[in-house]
Amino acid sequence: LKPFWLKPSGHVGPVGSRLVPAPGRVACGHIRWRQMAWGTAQSVAAALEEGTSGYMQRICLWVGFFLAVHGAATWSSARSRLIASRPTVFAGTAHGVLTGWLACAICVGVLDLSWWPYLGLPYSIAYLATDIVFYCIPKRDLPIAIHHSVMIFCHLTSGTEAGAKIAGAGDVAWAQWLSVSGYLSELSNPLLNSRWYMIQTLTEHNVFYAINNALLLLTWWFGRIVLMPALVLVRIVPRYDDFARLGTRDCFAVCVAGHCIVLLMSVDWLGKMMKGGLGAFIVFDPTARANFNPNAKVTKAK
């Protein structure tokens, strides 16, 4: 399935217009005059220039959406202690659901790759930017701020043909497929948030808690711990000669470093989640996390 705006008739914004540029219309021709030293700088500049065709406007549109979501969460925080403790959970869950499942649908062939630069990346970039403002800065959460900044820096250019062509060593589809594949890691985030919710509200073990955490462990392991090094070894490293030939080794380094940073952070987070062992991770114990669970009924030993 292709986005409705790429259909030959009855769509918003004809192919070849400023809203939907035709394939090949924007690429190296618009950026040849930009004689920059680093390919990464070229790819960002090209993405921003081509963004006048609609990419940056779509990011701004989704920024407005997430501002509305954060506004609703702030309103709800005044009425719920649970939401007040983590008001960004709604935006984070919405981001994980759409980007994770959209990436999955593209990978299995249900949706066309063209959905990614037109929906997936603008939506994600908008979320990451607003989450830095509404969560990372107020909470002074440096690791999450680093994660979001790395994601924006590594994926922003793949949303345009000109930027992806430089970042992908001449191969637009390769850069965008790499971006899509990396976002399979977002499949675990909604499960992580539902785990948080159940930890806060359950008073005793529930089968849904066990199922949720089993799926979380599965998606976290394969979508992050296995996928990230696999993408580096199978998809990125074999193309080193292409980057070297075009003089964009820095783009190659960004691809490798971005995946390695996310991998290391994912291993760290997994270690923290599994600190009590597999049994404690799967089976809910209301006495183990009493300070994080105001509804837990803790019986004091006599």
**What's the average pLDDT block by block, 10 residues per block, for the chain (302 residues)?**
40 35 39 43 63 79 95 90 89 96 96 94 96 92 92 90 89 95 95 92 91 96 96 96 90 93 94 88 76 43 42
Q: What is the pLDDT of residue 203?
A: 87
Query: How confident is the model at residue 92, as a pLDDT?
Result: 95
Residue 289 has a pLDDT of: 55
Q: Check residue 41 and give its pLDDT.
A: 62
Distances 123 to 63, 94, 127, 215, 228 between C-alpha atoms, Å: 8, 10, 6, 25, 22
Whole-angstrom distance, CA of residue 9 vs CA of residue 11: 6
Rounded distance between C-alpha atoms, residue 76 and residue 124, angstroms? 24
In this prediction the pTM is 0.80
